[in-house]
Structure 1
């Protein structure tokens, strides 16, 4: 759901009451980066963003419980938003597939956003290309099912986070090339030079042909607070672009 993440990176605040909801037309989004590059924090920020839009709940899938919730502004962490985020922890690929296959049996309001953190941990159990394709297709099918339940003009967004590896890992490169066919919109995260007591990264969002490429600098302070500023563009700066799997440095 590129627009949700775009709003997170633009301001970190929820959409205003007059903003048009374009979720139904948005492609699924693949969030890519190396270890400790901020993928989980951005997923959680996207969950808070969607939870504040006055729509359905958010379904957040991850293999293990978060040790701590990434911090945000006081408004973003208000209890009503947190209550709309449903965390589920499928411990294996089999359990993840079972959960996705049973989505049509779930009662209650359909999610407005489906998030999956740590896709690489599930793919590592069975790295064959057909299993990667099956899981990707099932994620898209589940989001489409939720969109049908939500209704026309609403839709269920889908953001999946994948940890990239060092160059030379042919199996990972093949998985990534296959996933990019299912996820035309991608956001690449690359470490940036940190300031005192800070962790910084560069985020490049390519929304799959539904908008211009955009870049930001994301800064995490020691207390966990996240701030976002536009990336200072320079002529001829092409150091971050789509198409590689090298540790978050595409």
Structure 2
């Protein structure tokens, strides 16, 4: 279950035992994880948390409005209680509580997180939020990750991955919010359910690291027993970005 998250983290240089033994302050841009309902965003975030927890660095801070209903299936590292203990879950129930939590991050005691994850950003972008409010929340997330990086010390850093649910046919307000968020999160990973893939439940994952490296695409197949396999997406001809839909449509 860890291979997809490891591949994403390597592509973003957010830290990988195979290529780097520690995070760097210049590790790469924060990542915006995009996909429709049921596209596997939460599973991938949790897998990234488990993979980071096994690197022997600081704790992982996982923010979400609701507790996870189940753990991903798997063996070995996935079920390692020592990894699970390093993941600190917090459940701000509203936008106000989320903002309070981020604003008070500098007051928190203990080791700084090596990875900050936020699941379900769309649940906090509610009401009559306009561009200024969306920009404020995005900037606050980046500032919090930067603060944790400063706490960790020179030569290290705190990664940031935020998951946002998008609709295939979003309204103009959703499109404006996404366009604004993309300014703060130049690196993006699009997830799309694909029934033609090699597995019982298959996703197409497209990673654009925001100019920090080449674009990459994978099949992510979930088998009936919960095991996840990752294979490269077939090579595309012509312009590699020609099949990527517009931001407002949410297609990879």
| Matched-pair contact (CA < 8 Å) for 1:28–1:158 | yes
| Matched-pair contact (CA < 8 Å) for 1:8–1:45 | no
| 3-state SS, counterpart of residue 249 of structure 1 | coil
Number of residue-to-residue matches in the alignment: 243
5 Å matches for 1:61-210? 61-194=63-196, 198-210=200-212
Aligned-partner Cα distance in 1 for 2:163–2:222: 18
Aligned-partner Cα distance in 1 for 2:198–2:192: 18
| 3-state SS, counterpart of residue 216 of structure 1 | strand
| Matched-pair contact (CA < 8 Å) for 2:200–2:224 | yes
Following superposition, the deviation at residue 165 of structure 1 comes to 1.5
Alignment pair present for 1:244 and 2:247? yes
Aligned-partner Cα distance in 2 for 1:161–1:62: 10
Post-superposition CA distance 1:30-52 (Å, at most 9, x none) = 00001100100110111111111
- With 191-200 and 31-40 compared, the bigger mean Cα shift is at 191-200
| Matched-pair contact (CA < 8 Å) for 1:8–1:49 | no
Alignment pair present for 1:52 and 2:54? yes
Post-superposition CA distance 1:44-91 (Å, at most 9, x none) = 111111111111000000000010012344223311111100111100
| 3-state SS, counterpart of residue 148 of structure 1 | helix
Following superposition, the deviation at residue 222 of structure 1 comes to 2.8
Normalising to structure 1: TM-score of the pair?
Answer: 0.89
Normalising to structure 2: TM-score of the pair?
Answer: 0.88
| 3-state SS, counterpart of residue 123 of structure 1 | coil
Following superposition, the deviation at residue 243 of structure 1 comes to 3.8
Following superposition, the deviation at residue 204 of structure 1 comes to 0.6
The aligned residue for residue 24 of structure 1 is 25
Decide whether aligned partners of structure 1 residues 216 and 9 sit closer, same or farther in structure 2, where only a CA change above 3 A counts: farther
Runs of 4+ that moved beyond 6 A: none
Following superposition, the deviation at residue 249 of structure 1 comes to 1.5
The aligned residue for residue 217 of structure 1 is 219
| Matched-pair contact (CA < 8 Å) for 2:9–2:16 | no
RMSD, matched Cα: 2.3
Post-superposition CA distance 1:193-222 (Å, at most 9, x none) = 256971111101111111111111111123
Decide whether aligned partners of structure 1 residues 240 and 153 sit closer, same or farther in structure 2, where only a CA change above 3 A counts: farther
